[in-house]
Every structure is written in C-alpha cells, then in structure tokens.
C-alpha cells in the first residue's frame, strides 16, 4: 500500500495481493482515523460479498473467484470497542460486464485499488442495536 495526504483526505493505492478490508483497517488504526468516508475503484480476485439475512441478522457470504473489476467501492470508517471498523459495500463486474453487489467481507487486489479515504471530524461510534441486532453508527 502506498498513500499520501491531500489536504485532509488520503489518496491510497493498494497493490496486487493486498486484502482490501484488512489493509484499510490497518491504515485507519495506524493513522488514528475514527470516522471517514471511503470510495474507490480497482481490480480484485477472490472477493467475498454478503447480503443480510433479516431473520438471522447475519450476512450470507458468497465467494466470487477469479478476476473482477471493482466498479464501485463505498463505505465508512467508525469505531467500535476502541477499534477501527471499515464497513464497505462493493459492486464487482465480471468479464461479461455482469455486476454483483453487496457487503464486502474481503477481497484481494489483483492489479490496483485506488481509494479515497476522507476523514471526518470527531469519532463515529458504532454500537449494537438491541432492536435490529446490528452494529449501527451513532451519528
């Protein structure tokens, strides 16, 4: 991973073999980022997306093996129990330009990942909501 600051934002380039969620979480932890907006594009392999099962309140994972374009990567950074949480959703496109979208559990960069991470003032806490069973942000 390479990055530089541009004003308050971070311009991040992920390289082949880097795991998106793991690498961005590490960056946020090292840089003390507790609230941010994330957007990006790139290419990946071995992506795991999930969709929420409302009855179990758990994500149903689905693997997408092989090369995919990251047509859209969007999400946020928050803090839960003192740790940075990177929450991302992705739209992936296959060789036929068919797209698949969902919560990004993890994916491995193939050629590059171009990410803009924009810190927000203050922290953004995330807590378990007893009504939904989900970890929700506290604006």
pLDDT digits (tens, 9 = 90+) for 53-64: 888 878 799 999
53 is in which domain, residue-wise? 2-121
* Domain-embedded: residue 26: yes
pLDDT at residue number 41: 98
* Domain-embedded: residue 135: no
pLDDT at residue number 132: 84
CA–CA separation, 127 and 59 (whole Å) = 17
* Domain-embedded: residue 138: no
pLDDT at residue number 139: 87
* Domain-embedded: residue 137: no
pLDDT at residue number 9: 98
Mean pLDDT of 30-38: 97
* Domain-embedded: residue 75: yes
CA–CA separation, 97 and 81 (whole Å) = 40
The domain that holds 54 is classified in CATH as 3.30.1330.80
Number of domains into which the chain is organized: 1
Cβ neighbors of 66 (< 8 A, separation 6 or more) are: 45, 94
* Domain-embedded: residue 133: no
pLDDT digits (tens, 9 = 90+) for 92-120: 999 999 999 999 999 999 999 999 999 99
């Amino acid at each position: 991973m390479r990055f530089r600051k541009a004003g308050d934002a971070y311009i991040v380039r992920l390289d082949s073999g880097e795991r998106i969620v793991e690498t961005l979480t590490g960056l946020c932890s090292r840089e003390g980022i507790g609230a941010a907006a994330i957007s990006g594009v790139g290419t990946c392999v071995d992506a795991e997306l999930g969709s929420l099962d409302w009855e179990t309140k758990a994500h149903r994972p689905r693997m997408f093996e092989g090369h995919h374009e990251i047509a859209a990567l969007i999400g946020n950074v928050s803090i839960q129990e003192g740790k940075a949480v990177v929450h991302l959703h992705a739209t992936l496109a296959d060789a036929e330009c068919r797209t698949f979208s969902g919560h990004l559990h993890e994916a491995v960069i193939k050629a590059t990942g171009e990410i803009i991470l924009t810190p927000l003032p203050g922290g953004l806490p995330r807590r378990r909501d007893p009504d939904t069973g989900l970890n929700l942000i506290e604006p």
